Every structure is written in structure tokens, then in C-alpha cells.
Amino acid sequence: MFEVFKAYVRRQTTISDEELAILESHAKFKKLRKKQYLLQEGDVCRYHCFIASGLMRTYSVDGKGNEHIIRFATKDWWISDRESLLFGVLSKFNIDAIEESELILFDKDEMKEAMETVPVFGQLVTDILNKSFVINQNRIHEVISSTAEEKYQNFVKRYPDFALRVPQAMIASYLGITPETLSRLRNPKPKK
């Protein structure tokens, strides 16, 4: 399973086998079945998690019991609740597996050590953070400036894979609309 991670790191940077071995020594492994939690609301997030396979989601549940999906993540992506992880606060999010998933976990402190011991890895992680920031910024832009239909079109274009693997109701939740509205967008009434 660590092979997926090695391949991922090698694709982004130049790194020796020794350095990869150091990273491996800091890693834990975890398998999750469908619907199994990685993190629950009220927990404190302890790990940076790399997804070796599968499909995960981060979401909150509001007062009315409605779920709001913040993001999806799949192979070669990282997932965690950064707010809880960095600042040690209780998480307001849940993270669970949409499909059976394999994860590589780096404990907060181990991660710090790994980033310092293997600087290219540290740089890689900082680059990811920068990219994530930009992605989030663009999502904010989209969500305040687009119609529901545009948001859906953009989603399908940007994440064609998710559009196939994720149930529609979850996509609706990600877009901030109801499942019924999404269904109607996809099946417009014949004009006449």
C-alpha cells in the first residue's frame, strides 16, 4: 500500500529510497469500509491522511440533520480537518468513506518531524497547501458567482470521476442545493 505513496511522492519531486524509507517509518496504515468514519464531529483530528485508494468525504451535519459536504477526496489526495489538527480544537466535521478506502496516516508530530528530516517532502507538503488554498479560493469564487446549473456543470467538468462515483444526493450537498433541484437540472422539462 505504501507503494502508492512512494509513486505519488516520486512524481512530484526527486527523492531517494532512503528518504522514502524515513517517511515510511513515520507512517501508519488504515483500511476503512464503506461508511466507516475516519473522524467524527467532536473528535480532535490527529493525523494527516493520504488516500492510497478509495473515496472519502468531509461533511458537517446541521441542526435539521442535513449533511453539507465540504469536499471529496480520492487516490493521491490528502484529507484531514486542518483546523482541528493544527489548533487542537474539536472538529465540527465528519470524515467517512464513500467507498472502501486505504489510508496512510501521519501523526501530527511525526509529520512535522518527517517534513524537517526530509526537506523535499516538507516542500511538497507546503506546495500542496498552497494549491489547496487556491482551489478553495476558486471554489468560493464559483459558489458566490455562479447559478446552480453552472456549479453543476463545472463540477462535472472538473471532477468527471466523482460525477460517476458519487451518489447524486451527495453532489447536491457539495454544491449547496437539494437533491431534487439537482435532479431537475439534469432532467430539464421538455420545452413544449
Choose the contact partner of 178 out of DNA, a copy of itself, none; CB within 5 to 8 A by kind.
DNA
Of 43-51, 115-123, 132-140, 146-154, the segment contacting DNA by CB under 7 A is 146-154
Indicate whether 186 belongs to the interface with DNA (CB under 7 A).
yes
d(CA 179, CA 68) in angstroms, rounded, equals 12
Q: Which residue in the set 18, 62, 65, 189 belongs to the binding site for DNA (CB under 7 A)?
A: 189
Burial category of 189 from C-beta neighbours within 10 Å (exposed 0-12, middle 13-18, buried 19 and up): exposed
Q: Which residue in the set 21, 42, 176, 186 belongs to the binding site for a copy of itself (CB under 8 A)?
A: 176
Mode of pairing for the β-strands spanning 37-39 and 67-74? unpaired
DSSP string, 13-40: S---HHHHHHHHHTEEEEEE-TT-EEE-
Residue ranges that bind DNA, judged by CB under 7 A: 147-149, 167-169, 176-187, 189
Residue ranges that bind a copy of itself, judged by CB under 8 A: 60, 62, 66, 68, 70, 82-83, 86-87, 92, 126, 129-130, 132-134, 136-141, 143-145, 173-176
